[in-house]
Amino acid sequence: MKLATYRDGSRDGQLVVVSRDLQAAHYATGIAARLQQVLDDWNFLAPQLQDLYDTLNNGKARNAFPFDPAQCLAPLPRAYQWVDGSAYLNHVELVRAARNSQVPASFYEDPLMYQGGSDDFLGPTEDARFVSEDWGIDFEAEITVVTGDVAMGATPDQALDGVRLVMLANDWSLRNLIPAELAKGFGFFQSKPATAFSPVAITPDELGEAWEGGRVHLTLQSSWNGRKVGMCEAGAEMTFHFGQLIAHVCKTRNVRAGSIVGAGTVSNKGVANAKGKMDWPKGYSCIAEKRAIETIQDGQPSTGFMRFGDTIRIEAKGKDGQSMFGAIEQTVVGPNGAVPAAAPVVAANLVIPA
Amino acid sequence: MKLATYRDGSRDGQLVVVSRDLQAAHYATGIAARLQQVLDDWNFLAPQLQDLYDTLNNGKARNAFPFDPAQCLAPLPRAYQWVDGSAYLNHVELVRAARNSQVPASFYEDPLMYQGGSDDFLGPTEDARFVSEDWGIDFEAEITVVTGDVAMGATPDQALDGVRLVMLANDWSLRNLIPAELAKGFGFFQSKPATAFSPVAITPDELGEAWEGGRVHLTLQSSWNGRKVGMCEAGAEMTFHFGQLIAHVCKTRNVRAGSIVGAGTVSNKGVANAKGKMDWPKGYSCIAEKRAIETIQDGQPSTGFMRFGDTIRIEAKGKDGQSMFGAIEQTVVGPNGAVPAAAPVVAANLVIPA
């Protein structure tokens, strides 16, 4: 089933069930008011939501209305946990290669994960507000899951059973704040502002065969200022699957229902072209990766980070071409919500080949 | 006023108002069921709780009952944010000195802070369960605050106005997991298991003159296996006050109601004794600091970390000698909740001078 949270003036919004084609929605009133409630009591409430979902898909829900992603908060507008990983080692390899540093062997055994802020998520179409363009504003297109309760010490297989929902995320990053922050030794903090999520969260069964081995085998599309810059395959090159990531989180503590676990920037390996040089035909899911590629190829990056007024769209479609989670569509704005008058343009060299 | 959360089988427990002397309590039924609700709607709900608190203190609350800290969950059993800092630079100086490393000058301007897990807190008397003693089990006695909403970019003064409640915390740490984890560059994660909090959270006005300059001027007492090992002053040597810590958190994002911000291990400077050697007469608020002192003095640590069966008690008393927040009293247990048969003993050299 597909679930979303509608804006209603409250901090947690109102839970709605959304039809498979994202055309219709129905308030879950009478079953649960908020998504966290459902996660807290999944076995009791999820079957009731599934019944409503089936009725809605059959066109028989009495109070259905057209679904509007612009009315959505994040599916969990705030959560008790948001842990993000860097599960696509290719991304780490590129970023490290750009600074002539090797990936330690242990990184292939032990996932890189950090604790993110979860008190103030952004809705899928909400502006992303930043104080300064100098901070190096970057998007990160990601796949995330929402868990049920997973006990301390769970194995990757047990942990994978704890996956309840799948969402897309835009893990906004402030690249120019990262070096000084990591140098302090305590990890990311100010460099990771509020994260945005897709309009709907979906149960893994909605993915059909695309949910396999704890990975989401879909193409994650990123469009920057209307030009497609990423068509990255999220499945095959995910080094650690979601069960492994969750098991990492619960090695020393319990993971409680409603925890969000992300896999980090989706990233695909480059391929050698006819001239024997490397190409990255699938593009990129964050600008930092594009800049790493440029640095490897040309000795320095040529693509700048995002400016006020820039837009980003992140989406994944199923085999049938239908949007699976709805699209994250955000505009970068200045401290007072301002955008410049002129429309921003992305240079042609940033765009992936058609 | 003083607030606590009673165990009721649910994830979030039941809000109770506790009398100033911690002898009596009263359910907040009719005002709010959960502490997060109060933080979400502070201006409306806090005055109603204050009325009940006044009635309770006057001995006139109709359904008052004896307050029992053993029935308490953490005041917020789960929270949307838990950020801990290292605001007592003396602690950082000692730990660095023990490994012949200098504290960078920037650390005195820019607080060290990390994002902690907040989905599964421990109650004040709950056992602390760990898989292995080899992980280097350590307590950390801390002062923390709970905030209201604080906007992105708030100044330290504005941020300080956002403090709603004060609590004690035991920020359990797994010291032997820290070096490898920090070497990965993403900060603490598995080395910071579930944190425990004091039985009650109190409004800053309860502290009277002890709440001054964004600091809590009380002595934080830590007793390990029944012997007093720390009588640390929490106020004067706190390098960054809570307004500065919260302002750090909200530099690039909003801080939402119910965020918990900690100041890290309370730590006091050593003093030269009659023989011209350094002493630390106030003891320590975590074992890692004791070991750092031993390393500076003797070239190596002699105090081991905690073992299954060990106990820790953390408390702060007011001028009148009454417990301000109630005591955190936890036992370290093995993976199945097991403790060894023989009672653990702390060597005399670990105990602070009477």
Query: pLDDT (tens digit, 9 = 90+) per residue, B26-55?
Result: 999 999 999 999 999 999 999 999 999 999
Top pLDDT among B106 and A150 is at A150
Interface contact A343, partner B, CB < 8 A: no
Query: Looking at residues B334-352, what average pLDDT do you find?
Result: 68
d(CA A88, CA A321): 25
- Given a cut of 90, whether residue A68 has pLDDT beyond it is yes
Q: Give pLDDT, residue B354.
A: 43
- Look at strands A128-129 and A328-333 and give their pairing: parallel
Q: Which two tokens stand for residue A7?
A: 């804006």
Closest-approach residue (CA) in chain A for B82: A117
Q: Is the per-residue pLDDT at B103 higher than 50?
A: yes
pLDDT confidence of residue A350: 54
The nearest alpha carbon in chain B to A148 belongs to B119
DSSP secondary structure, B170-184, as one string: E--EEGGGHHHHHHH
Q: Is A271 on the interface with B (CB under 8 A)?
A: no
A255 and B80 within 8 Å at the Cβ level: the answer is no
Is the dihedral angle over the CA atoms B298, B300, B306, B307 positive or is it negative?
negative
CB contact under 8 A, A80 and B40: no
pLDDT tens sequence across A305-316: 999 999 999 999
- Cβ–Cβ gap A114/B191 under 8 Å: no
How far apart, in whole angstroms, are the C-alpha atoms of residue A350 and residue A354?
Answer: 12
The pLDDT assigned to B269 comes to 95
Mean pLDDT of B284-299: 96
Tokens of A105: 């062997």
Q: Which residues contact A316 (CB under 8 A, 6 or more apart)?
A: A143, A168, A216, A218, A219, A220, A221, A234, A323, A324, A325
- Report the half-sphere exposure of A23 (CA within 13 A, side-chain side): 7
Nearest alpha-carbon partner for A263 in A105, A114, A155: A114
Give the global pTM: 0.96
Token digits of residue A33: 């008011």
pLDDT of residue B345: 56
pLDDT of residue B343: 59
Q: What is the dihedral of CA A338, A341, A347, A352, to 10 degrees?
A: 60
pLDDT at residue A152 in the model: 96
Nearest CA in chain B to A191: B252
> Does residue B153 sit at the A interface (CB-CB below 8 Å)?
yes
> In sequence order, which ranges of A211-277 are alpha helices (DSSP H)?
242-249
Q: Does A189 touch chain B (CB under 8 A)?
A: yes
Phi, psi torsion values for A315, nearest 5 degrees? -155, 155
| pLDDT at residue B123 greater than cutoff 90 | yes
Are the C-beta atoms of B196 and B122 separated by less than 8 Å?
yes
What value does the mean pLDDT take over residues B142-169?
98
What is the per-residue pLDDT for A338?
78
B164-172 average pLDDT score: 98
- On the question of pLDDT at A344 being above 90, the answer is no
Smallest Cα distance from A23 to chain B, Å = 32
Q: Give me the residue label for tokens 């103030």.
A: A120
Indicate the residue of B153, B188, B335 with minimum beta-carbon distance to A131.
B153
Q: Supply the DSSP string of B112-162, one letter for each residue.
A: -EEEEP-SSPBPTT--EE-S-GGGTEE--EEEEEEE--B-TT--HHHHHTT
State the Rg of chain A over Cα. 20
- State how far the Cα of B299 lies from the Cα of B90, in Å rounded to an integer: 19
Structure confidence by residue, pLDDT tens digits, A194-248: 999 999 999 999 999 999 999 999 999 999 999 999 999 999 999 999 999 999 9
Q: Nearest residue of A to residue B130 by CA position?
A: A252
Across chain A, what does the average pLDDT equal?
95
β-strand B219-224 against B2-6: which pairing, if any?
unpaired
Q: Are B229 and B348 in contact (CB under 8 A)?
A: no
Task: List the single best residue of A119, A126, A249, A261 to mutate versus B (max B Cβ within 10 A).
Answer: A119
Look over chain B and give the mean of its residue pLDDT values, rounded to a whole number. Answer: 95
**Are A193 and A172 in contact, with CB atoms under 8 Å apart?**
yes
Q: What is the CATH number of domain A77-333?
A: 3.90.850.10
* CA quadruple B43, B48, B52, B58: dihedral sign: positive
Q: What is the pLDDT of residue A346?
A: 56
Q: What are the chain B neighbours of A119 within 8 Å (beta carbons)?
A: 80-81, 255-256, 258-259
Would you kindly state where each structural domain of chain B is located, as residue ranges? 1-73, 77-333
pLDDT confidence of residue A185: 87
d(CA B333, CA A212): 38
Q: Is the pLDDT assigned to residue A97 strictly greater than 70?
A: yes
> Which residues of chain A neighbour B186 with C-beta distances below 8 Å?
86, 112-114, 187-188
Interface confidence (ipTM) of the complex:
0.95
Q: Please write the tens of the pLDDT for every residue from A29-63.
A: 999 999 999 999 999 999 999 999 999 999 999 99
CB pairs under 8 A between A and B: 139
Which A positions 1-40 lie with beta carbon below 8 A of chain B? 11, 40
- The pair of three-digit structure tokens given for residue A214, joined into one six-digit string: 């704890």
Closest approach of chain B CAs to the CA of A51, in angstroms?
26
Q: Is the pLDDT of residue A265 over 90?
A: yes
- Do the beta carbons of residue A46 and residue A3 sit within 8 Å? no
Q: Residue range A62-89: average pLDDT?
A: 97
Tell whether the model's pLDDT for residue A353 goes beyond 80: no
pLDDT in tens, B317-337: 999 999 999 999 999 999 888
Judge: A120–B256 Cβ closer than 8 Å, yes or no.
yes
The answer to whether B340 faces chain A, any CB pair under 8 Å, is no
Chain B positions touching A251 (Cβ under 8 A) are: 131, 190
B215-243: average pLDDT: 98
Does position A157 have pLDDT exceeding 90, yes or no? yes
Residues 80-139 of B with CB under 8 A from A: 80-81, 83, 86, 104, 106-107, 110, 112-120, 129-131, 135
Which residues of B fall within a CB distance of 8 Å from A86? 186
Instruction: Check pLDDT > 80 for residue B232.
Output: yes
Mean pLDDT of B263-274: 95
**Secondary element (H or E) of residue B54:** helix B42-57
Query: For A279-336, what is each residue's pLDDT tens digit?
Result: 999 999 999 999 999 999 999 999 999 999 999 999 999 999 999 999 999 999 998 8
Chain-centroid distance of CA B267 in Å reads 13
Cα–Cα distance for residue pair A256/A245, rounded to 1 Å: 15
What integer is the mean pLDDT of B141-154?
A: 98
Q: Hey, what amino acid is at A143? A: I
CA A241 to chain centre: 15
pLDDT at position A354 is: 43
Closest CB from A106, A117, A184 relative to B253:
A117
* Whole-number Å distance between alpha carbons of B299 and B97: 11
Question: Does residue B347 surpass a pLDDT of 70?
Answer: no
